[in-house]
Structure 1
Amino acid sequence: MSTTTRLATTTGTPAGTAPSGHRSLLVKGRNARSRQVTNRIVDVVLTGAMLVALTPLVLILVEVARRGAGVIDWGFFTQPEPPPRREGGGYVAGFFGTAYIMLLAIVMAIPLGIATAVYLVEYGRGRLATLIRFFTDVMTGIPSIFVGLFVYGLLVVGWGQLQFGTFVASVAIAIMMLPIVTRSGEEMLRLVPDELRQASFALGARKWQTVLKTVLPAAGPGLTTGSMLAIARGAGETAPLLLTALGTHVMVTAFQGTPQGALPLQLYHGARQPFEAGIERAWGAALCLFALVLLLTILARWIGSRARVTAH
């Protein structure tokens, strides 16, 4: 005798109905079969949509790897770019310029972005905090060429009169990174339990001590993840650099006043010219840039996953 039959016999209630009047979980509804079919159809549709969405990315990755892998060797990272017709050479100026610009941009954007996030979560109240959040959201979606045009008009030829160079390029990239660091940092700080803050206050710590020694360490992995994603975004930007760094084929160590090279700029100029050797070098630069962004993104995800495992 089944469980539901015994239940009906002993309690006098209809089969599949508990003494309280609720249906037993062991009994399937009349439309259970149709729900299963609908669920399978939806799974197939969503899986197909995911595969369609991934297809362009896979094709781009395969094509960039196929065209660029044969160009990359040690000389590609250490040699200057030759004339477009000549084979060989490398993009050492672009690698050095990108590292130089990103180092300055990181120094400017990440501390300021995290400080802004701390203000919004721990101190910000009223209209000022709302205004900061609004402009941060607007900056997240603004086209990068507008940022380059703004820095160009303000610092390159406008009020600053600084001309093209490393510093103005790093300012433009920092502006692109800042809203990402701020918004991600704000979300990470909000995830810190209030119990940690209350415990710190109970031990006699001041507000700034609680933020510095309790809140920030607790949110550290999340802040690191957001910062890595911002760096990945900034490293691949081209439009702001066209109006600030300008670009060059030689290594430049000057802080400001001399056009600076960058990997995205050399890729852009190499892809525009008609000579096969120069185009092949551009494919190699695209593969290096893609690998750099992918590495930073994977590292950010790994740090975030490790943080969740540690928290649990």
Structure 2
Amino acid sequence: MQCLIWFALAIIMLRMIRDLDMTLIRTFVTTADKASMTAAANALHLTQGAVSQQVKRLEEVLGQSLFERDRRGLRLTRSGERLLDKARRLLRLNDEILAEIRGGAVAGRVRVGVPYDLVGTLLAPVLKAYAEAYPQVEISLVCASSPELAAALAAGTIDLAVIEERVGPSPGECLLIDRLVWVGARGGAARLKRPLPVSIVADTCAFRPAVLSALAEHGLDWRTVFENGNIDATTATVRSDLAVTTWLASTVPADLDILSDAGLPALPNFSVNLHLPKHATQPAAQAFAGHIREGLSRYRQAA
């Protein structure tokens, strides 16, 4: 009898809950993005059990199942799909309010790691908005390849990093997924040459293993034109029709072509992930992370 009374009280309390816990919402969104509770736990610096309990708690509050499991991992139910967009908006508003209210108190220095190809494209508006919102914060920008940025974050020489990785399990928080595409000069002939002239920003480029693997599987001979870590020089070799390269579709300059009909092998999708240190994150870095989430969320909605 006592167990039944406690169960009834629990049901009554759940029905009385009118406010959503942002912690539960953030865990839900991260789990949906990762399609894995283990990956979500890594991104949120929680145990898998804690993530599972938080998802269960949210399902109890809403009275709906949000996930179901298939062979590829977790999949959103129809209720989960309905919630996801609204949950993202809730988190954006929550982070925006916190950033504005705390803005006057945030000062110091934040060291941000960004890949070469993103700093002048997707992240340019984010950098501008952050600098305007937090004029007392000194921003130090570190541009390098994604593997180099991951190493710098682990070594503690940067405070957070935006890293490009093949879609799949990652300790980072997925901000968006984009196509990796072949890029060449408009109306150019480099795409037709054999061996294929390829220009890659650096030999540590995150795209390089995927590109070389695709060329090998396709049986396509290639040669290196440029690999020294300069995005401007890489762009120049492509504009001059000396070579082709690979970029995320969202970062391709308007005057260059995405090559979809040149007999080149298909390339995998890549995710743009936010990586934070395993130790405590300073307020300036937390605020910057919020700006990145909001900025790329707006990009996803506009795309």
After TM superposition, the score normalised by the length of structure 2 is 0.31
- Looking at secondary structure, tell me which structure has more strand per residue: 2
- Which structure is richer in relative contact order (CA contacts within 8 A, separation 6 or more)? 1
